[in-house]
Structure 1
Amino acid sequence: MIPSLRTYYNEHFTTGKYQAFLDSLAAEAGEAPAFRVAETPVFVPAALTSKLVQACEEVVEVILRPDFKDITRDAIPNALKVPAENTHPHFLIIDFAVCRQENGELAPQLIELQGFPTLFAFQEVMARQFKHHFNIPGTVTNFFNGLDGDSYFKLLQQLIVGDNDPQEVILLEVAPQLQKTRVDFYCTQKRLGINPVCVTELIQDGSNLYYNNNGKQTPVKRIYNRVIFDDLIKQQATLGSYPNLFQHLDVEWITHPNWFYRISKFMLPLIQSPFAPKSWYLHTLPVIPADLENYVLKPLFSFAGQGVIIDVTPADIDNIKDPENWILQHKVQYAPVIYTPSGPAHCEIRMMYIWPDDSPRPLLVHNLARISKGKMIGVSNNAQDTWVGGSCCFFEQ
């Protein structure tokens, strides 16, 4: 999207450099990513960066409302509420489509948001390896707020581990070794010293949790949570026994599971911004729009794009038995703004925040990008294409 950098990058790209880049990712993490990594980063011009930051801060202002917990009380399914919720999430991620306004300028449009961590460790590794292998200039950066690699990981260390022994802090997931994002778990383990642990490996004694750490039963003081609890419930019949995580436990959640639901698609109708498409809870929709082709139907309680209906029909709406659990959102038109040797592509940009306990508001720190040439953006889509997949952004300073 910065024409001079795009032209330079494309002209100097080679498959050899790309393979060396992928090999470096695998070497640093311990294995190759289980998802496709794109051949290119995204170069974001200063004007679009400014709009992205503005859009994010407008979302943050909603979260900072004194009545935020009241207006999102229905966001958490009763069966999935976890005790001892804290005052704010430790992580916030906000996804935007890159679009083109009527005047031709690039602008973000809000797609989704979550009070849940994403690939915080791996994205730094990816950006650093892009810089190493592809001569990314110093006029652009992958960080925000003056951070660099060292200060970035120092913040993550303070937030996730704090003053605890890293061996008493775990990254909790369901079968972490099978997750497509496991490369991030290994990068996190390497940088922060915390072990990925499956929920089935937890040992409970009263309100205390332990895990087997190389033959030693080790207490769990903090949980860096990567478990999506409705997904956990769906799988519980095949997982075997594990502690009931919906009870009071003597652990600290980073971040607390309830925030996954409070800060989610549930928030979309609450956000009023030129960078947020109009959304309604389906059960409050006054009338079905005549131009349904311009809308998308999203289930509130799903993740990774599951259940989303892109080409909506009146029959789709009629067939929904629980309209209170769905939103209708004005469809966003992605712009084909990334010019690649195999054709134009569009992208989403994820803005990544952390929120330390002693901070009055979250801090923008890093980013993630997903590049696609099809209708769906996720890295599992367009598997046969090139110059698509997971990536990162470098923002013009």
Structure 2
Amino acid sequence: MISAQRQKYNQQFSSEKYKAFLQKLEEGLIKIPFRVAETPVFVPRALKEKLIEAGDEIIRLIKQDNFKALTEKAIPEEWRVPNENGQSHFLTFDFGVCKDEQGDLTPMLIEMQGFPSLYGFQHHMGKKFKSTFDLDDTVDYFLNDFNEEKYIDLLKKVIIGKHQPHEVALMDVDAHNQKTAIDFLVTEQMLGIKILALTDIIKEGKNLFYQEGAEKIQIKRIYNRLIFDEIASDPEILSKSFDPRETLNIEWATHPNWFYRISKYTMPFLRSRFVPETRFLNQVATIPQDLENYVLKPLFSFAGMGVIIDVHPTDIANIKDPENWILQRKVNYEPAVQSPTGGVKAEIRMMYLWADGEEPQLCINLARLSRGKMIGVRYNADFDWVGGTIGFMEK
């Protein structure tokens, strides 16, 4: 999208460089199970400023005094966790790159989460792109004047808090076998925290522990990467470890309830030129005449699961729980990233860290490139110049 950067990058690109880049990404870690794109996204200053403005508007809603009241029904009662804190430690907002009526590139909000993203891997990837492809200093994957040192310091403050690294666990249902395990490993190297599967955690009374050789170490804080959807079909797994819904002597980064509060559920409350018309399905009195311009999304799913892109009236009629769905006007992505074989659609995730007692800070980003109907690495495995990547933004 920055034409000079794109032209320079495409001219010096080679499959050999791309292979070397992937080898650097995986070196000392694991083989990446998802597709990493051949290129970063070069984001011009004007689009970067709109992305920042859009994020600021969303944060104003989240910081409203009544935000918890607005989103109280977002949390499924069967997954409500006690001792919720006053803020999410992580904010991630996904924007499709589109064109406005004037023909200028503009972001449109697709999804939002009060849940961690690939905060370790994105920094790792940005460094490898920069060194492998000799990207200049007029663009950067960090935002808001962050650099490596400042970024890692804030990550430590948010994830580790006042504890020692060995007292903090990055937890997921089967952490070492998740598709995002490479992010876990990078985070472990950066921060010194422990990676644990759910069943690695031992509960004694209200305290949690893990075994390190002959020593039993108490966990004081959990860097939570567990999504309850992943264990809903196997609730017995909690009996083999601990149940997060119990009252425990543990701190959360971030508390599980924020996954639901800051989510697709929040979008109907937003009014912005950067947010497509979004309504709870049970509040749609009349089905739009131009239903082909809308998409149906379940509130409680992730990674695009369950989304109905080509909506028919029968799809709406067949939904038994319309209160758990949104009807959203489709966003028309602009194929703005020029690959050697044509334009590619892009989505940019703006990633914030929010330390206790401080303000949310925009630090870094994630990008995804797509030629398919849906954005996301799982939907683009058979194409090239698509997949997970990062935005290098004009300073």
Q: TM over 0.5: same fold?
A: yes
Give the Cα separation in 1 of the matches to 2:309 and 2:386: 20
Question: Structure 1 residue 239: deviation in Å?
Answer: 7.5
* Bigger shift: residues 117-126 or 339-348: 339-348
Which runs of 5 or more residues in structure 2 are unaligned? none
Structure 1 residue 160, shift from structure 2 partner: 0.8
Match among 351, 375, 381 for residue 383 of structure 1: 381
Q: Report the Cα offset of residue 123 of structure 1.
A: 0.2
Q: Return the TM-score normalized by structure 1.
A: 0.98
CA distance in 2, matches of 1:393, 1:193: 27
- The normalised TM-score by structure 2 is 0.98
Cα distance between partner residues in 2 of 1:77 and 1:96: 26
Paired residues for 1:182-193 under 5 Å: 182-193=181-192
- Among 360, 366, 370, the alignment partner of 1:372 is 370
Q: Deviations over 1:200-232 (max 9, x none)?
A: 111111100001123421100000000012322
- Verify the 8 A CA contact 2:231 2:237 in the aligned structure 1: no
Alignment partner of 1:125 is 2:124: yes
Which secondary structure does the structure 2 equivalent of 1:380 belong to?
helix
Instruction: Give the secondary-structure state (helix, strand or coil) at the position aligned to 2:240.
Output: coil
SS at 1:59's partner residue? Answer: helix
Which deviates more, 151-160 or 115-124?
A: 151-160
**1:272 corresponding residue in structure 2:** 271
Aligned length: 395
Quote the offset at 1:390 in angstroms.
Answer: 0.3
The superposition leaves residues 242-281 of structure 1 with CA deviations (integer Å, 9 ceiling, x where unpaired) of: 2111011001000000000000000010000000001000
CA distance in 2, matches of 1:220, 1:17: 42
Runs of 4+ in 1 over 4 A off after TM superposition: 237-240
Which one-letter code corresponds to 1:8 in the other structure?
K
2:153 match: 154
Summarize deviations over 1:134-176 as a string: whole Å, max 9, x none.
0111111111121111110111011111231211100010111
Contact 1:97–1:347 at 8 Å: present in 2 too? Answer: yes
Asked if 1:116 is matched to 2:115, the reply is: yes
Q: Tell me, yes or no, if structure 1 residue 25 matches structure 2 residue 34.
A: no
Offset, 1:31: 1.3
Contact 1:92 1:354 in 2 (8 A): yes
> Which residue number in structure 2 is paired with residue 169 of structure 1?
168
- Alignment of structure 1 residues 1-397 onto 2, 5 Å: 1-28=1-28, 30-237=29-236, 241-359=240-358, 361-397=359-395
Name the stretch that deviates more: 123-132 or 209-218: 209-218
CA deviation profile, 1:274-332 (whole Å, cap 9, x unmatched): 00001000001121101000000000011111000000000000000000000000000
Shift of 1:241: 1.5
CA-to-aligned-CA distance 1:37-72 (integer Å, 9 cap, x gap): 000000000000010000001100100111000010
Unaligned residue ranges in structure 1 (runs of 5+): none
Post-superposition CA distance 1:361-382 (Å, at most 9, x none): 3110000000010111111112
User: Contact conserved, 2:199 with 2:237, CA < 8 A, in 1?
Assistant: no
C-alpha distance in structure 2 between counterparts of 1:31 and 1:384, whole Å: 22
The DSSP-based 3-state class of the residue aligned with 2:378 is coil
Amino acid at match of 1:339: Q
CA distance in 1, matches of 2:213, 2:96: 44
Q: What letter matches 2:98 in structure 1? A: C
Partners of 1:239 and 1:65 in 2: how far apart? 35
Counterparts of 1:117 and 1:335, CA distance in 2? 27
In 1, the alpha carbon distance for the partners of 2:64 and 2:351 equals 20
Cα separation, 2, equivalents of 1:370 and 1:215: 44
CA distance in structure 2 between the partners assigned to 1:356 and 1:165 by the alignment: 16
Alignment check: 8 A CA contact 1:80 1:230 kept: no
